[in-house]
Chains A and B, each alone.
Chain A
Amino acid sequence: MHPAYQTIMAMGKDALPFILEDLKKQIDHWFYALKFIAREDIGEGASNLDEARQLWLAWGRKQKYIS
């Protein structure tokens, strides 16, 4: 795993707004970090990456990490 990715994961919940804002703009492979930080897989059951992205963004809005 890339050291920068590990650093972001180590930030814990403080990193969630940044990750989710980035996820709003583009799909990237943030799902591992999100699952690690949130301690649950909000995208579980999604059939593709875009569906997982939408589930995480909806969760982020509900939790008020993003608007």
Chain B
Amino acid sequence: MRNCSWVPGVFENLAATGFDIVADCTSDRTRGRPSGYNCIAWAAGRTGEWWWPCGIGGYTWPVAEGTHIEPPNKETLDNFIAAFRSIGYLSSDNGNWEDGFEKVALYVNNQGIPTHAARSLPDGNWTSKLGEAEDIRHPTPESIGGRVYGKPVAFLKREIPGHKRKRYR
């Protein structure tokens, strides 16, 4: 496992909330191997694609008929929401844990431009890919927010396929 002491220095809130490294950096620039995916693709559960709405060959951006209200190559929050809607997510009021659902948090900077996405885990934690670097687990959506990613401003959720909900008596 690599030395990840740089992480709390860049993401200042993680020092207080704590975090775990889920997977080592997937890119290896010394051997010309890129990261196979970025934070948005990771939040969407895709590890062989780089999701960004730039309209350039090699990058992936899902377009589902009728879901995009902006041109698909614009960096807007609505466009990011539409991308996750196209893979089955619906709007959610918050990032609170819900049995049987996985959630996605979308982040914007202080200019309102999307910067990052994180996905909830079944245990109530969240996971993020940090640029081309490590995948981490963090306790709340806010813990990865701050000067780099801004803050989470939109949440979406979808049912986890095959999940058996807990029964309470």
Contact A41 B56 (CB under 8 A): yes
Contact of A52 among B32, B48, B57 (CB under 8 A): B57
Contact B29 A48 (CB under 8 A): no
With A26-B29, A27-B32, A48-B49 in contact, is A32–B54 under 8 Å at CB?
yes
Number of residues of chain A lying within 8 A (CB) of chain B: 21
Residue with the greatest number of chain A CB neighbours at <10 A, chosen from B34, B48, B49? B34
B-to-A contact residues, CB < 8 Å: 29, 31-34, 36, 48-50, 54, 56-60
Q: Which residues of A contact B (CB under 8 A)?
A: 25-28, 31-32, 35, 41-53, 55
Q: List 26 A-B contacts (CB under 8 A).
A: A25-B32, A26-B29, A26-B32, A26-B33, A27-B32, A27-B33, A27-B34, A31-B58, A32-B54, A32-B56, A35-B57, A41-B57, A43-B58, A45-B57, A46-B58, A47-B49, A47-B60, A48-B48, A48-B50, A48-B60, A49-B34, A49-B50, A49-B58, A50-B34, A51-B58, A53-B58
